[in-house]
């Protein structure tokens, strides 16, 4: 459909309203006020060229940088009829699709779900029925557990977030300096022993003992939200939100700058928490400055959040355009401030991964573990790993020169 035909049929305002509702369903912040403004702007400007129409709606409907890709795909699908056979063939092809194309296809699926929601065609009636029946299949359950987050549709991502919220979180315990009453403790508690003796009139003296208190160590998470990590950052934040309900978790986002989102992610409602986090990060899906971000954390936040010797989770692929020579030093400083440094890298989903990139090679010697984090199964394994003893077996071998 073009703007000309819509205007001739007198349905331009109705189509813009439908388009705005579809964008809202796809995750954009589009309210009734913006839809009315868009209709008024188009009618006032008298837009005739497709490009002018595109940028008029873009100016009113897109308020965040990461929403531009969704808007672009939604505009192409909504205002022009497209054939879906080529995409279906690509999805069913056994040949691996390049990463850029995979990312584009995942965005298309999410936009299509929003655009065609509620449309009474045979295509839309059949799809939910198949999905409901598929949930009863154990094989489909396994597929969802091993499906890459970047390839999930909006419905699959929602189901993944639900499963993440119900994951059995790590139950590891660490001894603290604080002493508490412990019948098997090594230290004698004289005060408690004397109080017990007074209670019995001194006829019977029961020796009381104390031992170190055990508690779950706090977690500090540094999450890369650059363009290459955009498809994984939101499921990771859902995992950290669920983890925060069971222990103290401090969360920092970094792309080109460091942002503390601990308070925003602490909200009880997961959707409200993720929305607050997204609103706080100005560099979402942008570039990456790992060394500068780690330096900012080490200087400004390390003493505040690492006093209790936490477990540090570093979510990043280690890729940046310009490798800072101070990266290795900042990683070493970060390692000294925690009990355990775990690097979670989605690139490990590829077999034969070797740390050839300069940034990856500089960071790798300082970490205790390196694990993949790209699907539900990898998150389940992460939970098991955090509950167990430290192991360096997951580190990849050095790159061959």
Could you tell me the residue ranges of all domains in the chain? 3-115, 174-215, 219-387
- Write the CB contacts of 45 (distance below 8 Å, at least 6 apart in sequence): 52, 56
Which residues are 343's β-sheet partners? 314, 370
- Write the CB contacts of 265 (distance below 8 Å, at least 6 apart in sequence): 237, 240, 241, 244, 249, 251, 273, 274, 276, 277
Confidence of residue 183 (pLDDT cuts 50, 70, 90): confident
pLDDT computed for residue 124 by the predictor = 44
pLDDT computed for residue 172 by the predictor = 64
pLDDT computed for residue 44 by the predictor = 79
Q: Which of 335, 359, 356 is nearest to 398 (CA)?
A: 356
Q: Which of 24, 67, 59, 26 is nearest to 42 (CA)?
A: 59
What pLDDT, in 10s, does the model give residues 39-98? Answer: 888 887 766 677 778 888 888 899 887 788 888 888 887 766 444 333 433 333 333 444
What pLDDT, in 10s, does the model give residues 216-243? Answer: 789 999 999 998 898 899 999 999 999 9
The topology (CATH level 3) of 219-387 is Rossmann fold (3.40.50)
pLDDT computed for residue 185 by the predictor = 78
Top mean-pLDDT range of 84-98, 162-176, 202-216, 272-286: 272-286
Average pLDDT over residues 305-327: 88
Determine the Cα–Cα distance for residues 159 and 273; give it in Å rounded to an integer. Answer: 17
* Residue bearing the bigger pLDDT, 12 or 138: 12
Lowest mean pLDDT among 118-127, 166-175, 328-337, 365-374: 118-127
Given a cut of 70, whether residue 113 has pLDDT beyond it is: no
Average pLDDT over residues 106-122: 55
* Residue bearing the bigger pLDDT, 6 or 280: 280
pLDDT computed for residue 116 by the predictor = 56
Average pLDDT, the chain: 78
Full-model pTM: 0.62
What pLDDT, in 10s, does the model give residues 184-215? Answer: 777 887 788 778 777 777 677 778 888 777 77
* Residue bearing the bigger pLDDT, 177 or 168: 168
């Amino acid at each position: 459909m073009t703007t000309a035909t819509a205007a001739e049929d007198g349905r331009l305002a109705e189509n813009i309203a439908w388009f705005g509702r579809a964008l809202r369903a796809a995750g954009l912040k589009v309210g009734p006020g913006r839809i009315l403004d868009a209709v008024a702007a188009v009618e006032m400007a008298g837009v005739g060229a497709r490009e002018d129409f595109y940028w008029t709606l873009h100016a009113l409907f897109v308020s965040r940088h990461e929403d531009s890709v969704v808007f672009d795909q939604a505009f192409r699908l909504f205002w022009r009829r497209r054939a879906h056979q080529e995409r279906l063939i690509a999805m069913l092809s056994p040949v691996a699709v390049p990463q850029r194309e995979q990312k584009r296809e995942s965005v298309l699926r999410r936009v299509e779900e929003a655009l065609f929601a509620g449309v009474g065609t045979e295509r839309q009636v059949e799809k939910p029925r198949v999905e409901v029946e598929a949930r009863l299949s154990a094989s489909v359950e396994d597929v969802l557990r091993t499906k890459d987050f970047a390839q999930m549709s909006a419905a699959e991502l929602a189901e993944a977030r639900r499963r993440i919220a119900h994951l059995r979180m790590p139950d590891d315990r660490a001894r603290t300096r604080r002493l508490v009453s412990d019948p098997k403790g090594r230290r004698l508690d004289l005060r408690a022993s004397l109080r017990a003796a007074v209670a019995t009139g001194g006829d019977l003296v029961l020796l009381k003992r104390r031992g170190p208190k055990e508690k779950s160590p706090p977690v500090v998470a540094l999450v890369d939200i650059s363009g290459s990590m955009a498809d994984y950052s939101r499921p990771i934040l859902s995992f950290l939100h669920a983890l925060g309900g069971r222990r103290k978790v401090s969360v920092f986002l970094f792309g080109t700058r460091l942002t503390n989102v601990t308070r925003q992610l602490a909200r009880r409602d997961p959707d409200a928490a993720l929305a607050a986090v997204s609103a706080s990060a100005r560099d979402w899906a942008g570039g990456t400055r790992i060394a500068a971000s780690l330096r900012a954390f080490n200087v400004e936040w390390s003493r505040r959040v690492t006093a209790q010797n936490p477990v540090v989770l570093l979510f990043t692929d280690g890729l940046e355009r310009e490798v800072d020579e101070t990266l290795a030093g900042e990683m070493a400083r970060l390692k000294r401030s925690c009990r355990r440094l775990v690097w979670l890298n989605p690139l490990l989903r590829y077999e034969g991964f070797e740390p050839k990139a300069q940034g990856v090679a500089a960071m790798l010697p300082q970490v205790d573990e390196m694990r993949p984090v790209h699907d539900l199964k990898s998150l389940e394994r992460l939970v098991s790993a955090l509950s167990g003893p430290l192991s360096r077996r997951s580190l990849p071998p050095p790159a061959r020169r």
